Structure 1
Amino acid sequence: MESKTKIWIKAFRLRTLPLALASIGMGSFLAAAEGKFNGAIFSLCALTTIFLQILSNLANDYGDSVHGADNKDRKGPIRTVQSGQISHGQMKTSIFIFSGLSLISGLGLIYISVGLNLQVFLFFLGLGIMSIIAAITYTSGKIPYGYKGLGDISVLIFFGLVGVMGSYYLYAFTLPLSFFLPALSCGLFSTAVLNLNNIRDIESDKKAGKFSIPVRIGRKNAVIYHWALLLGGLSCALLFVVLNFQSYYQLIFLGTLPLLLRNGKAVSHQKDSLKLDPYLKQMALTTLLFAITFGLGMLIS
């Protein structure tokens, strides 16, 4: 029998954390390439992002159990609320705790970065509250937006544009337009992780009334969509290099191409949903590796 600690760690879904750190890493590398890196800001960015990701995972565990998406037909790992390892009440409490931790960490981050600049402070506070609400309401609440097929848009925004550009701004206090391209890359790759997850769960989601993109467009079109996300993310990064070329070191991130191709081929050819599951972790790690290699290329150029 698993210990309570192991059960909670399973509920945290630690394999998703590399994905959460990718956007923060990208924003931080872009700042470092311009000599604007700050260790305290990075630490609080990373901590806040980790809290938000765990919050999202816990709320997802709770919400999918309540709304029926976690059921006996689901092919992924068994969730803790669904299996009775964690009660609804305990999971609700954990959601409140991690909401508070995310808010406290975020407040510290904003203060360290912008100080008492009230206008900027309030803007980022609002952004932080929106992030908490988005994390919770993806599958929880009366009208979870994940059940309407809007999760992809949310991931693109928060794991791409907000994560990269928001963290970069906290270092540099500017928003260069060209940096939206690597931000989109992170967002598109992160959306690919969600799409893979939804392809894996397509049958159980149908039965639960969860109208994810793969449920709406069918598996065949969802595979095409997956390739579009992978190639779109890569194209945005390449376009950035073309527009801001300094040296060929900027192309180091192309080392992740075989991993992206491997992921796309698995989604295309693997019909067994259970065998698709490992590629969620693979795509999350590939996204983090992409952010690191892209950032290193910027640093040494």
Structure 2
Amino acid sequence: MSVPVSLDFQFPRDCYISTRSKWERDALDYLNSTNWELHYWRSCHKIKKFSVLYDIPYHEKFVKDIDLWVYFASKLANVERFELRCGDGYEFPQYAFTNTSWRKLVLQLFTSLNPLANVNWSGMVSLSFRYIYWTEKVLSGCPNLECLKLYHFVDVHCLEISNAKLRKLIIDNSESDEYDLSLDILAPYIQNLKILGLCREICLRNVASLVNAVLDFDFDCFIEDKEPLPRKESTCLKELFHRVAHVEKLELGPWCIQVYSYSSLSKIQNIFAIEFIA
């Protein structure tokens, strides 16, 4: 119990194709097994990682079990990294917004993070959100945050990051076929930026400290030799390149290369290196 451990629980994949009655039995077996293991490990001195993958349709009768996992990770055990992936509709409990032991948090909830009071995640250095809408209270409660990863997030149109220690920002919409992502980014302290996947519009308002940038996105516009990029997207793309003209290293994906010729790129001054992503 004095040795740091990692606990990983994953719902059996073959249960997804089971009949309803068998699926419910398997689900209960999985829940009971997981809960018993957590009861055993509750007094462990240090848990480096606690991960639960319960990526199945949401059921209200299982809420107490998911609550138990969150309570274990946030209040009962000394967990350093907590990862929770569950189905649509689960509401992250309010008590979990106060925790000083978490250093890394990975959440996939298909819902909103809505803290009613101030967030206190003072030990947090890395946040990873997938299919989540969140508020500014979350970032303001993470004064030591160094890395923020956002995967397929929706309903956020202005991302203002004032955390002085945050150095890395990843925005990844590559797992989705939806491109209705329009985002203004104000992040004066970040040094590393990645923008991946489909989107409609990305604007960088303030990235003065940026050193490395990876632009591997697609505005999802149909382009042929005789059909120029629509004016709005073209203007946005040119402005985006202008905003990263001071970086030391710039990596470009296929779409960016296609719509912005190398001759145009050569006009950008002070770029240390440009790499093309195959």
Structure with greater helix percent? 1
TM-score (norm 1): 0.27
Higher relative contact order (CA 8 A, sep 6+): 1
Structure whose alpha-carbon radius of gyration is higher: 2
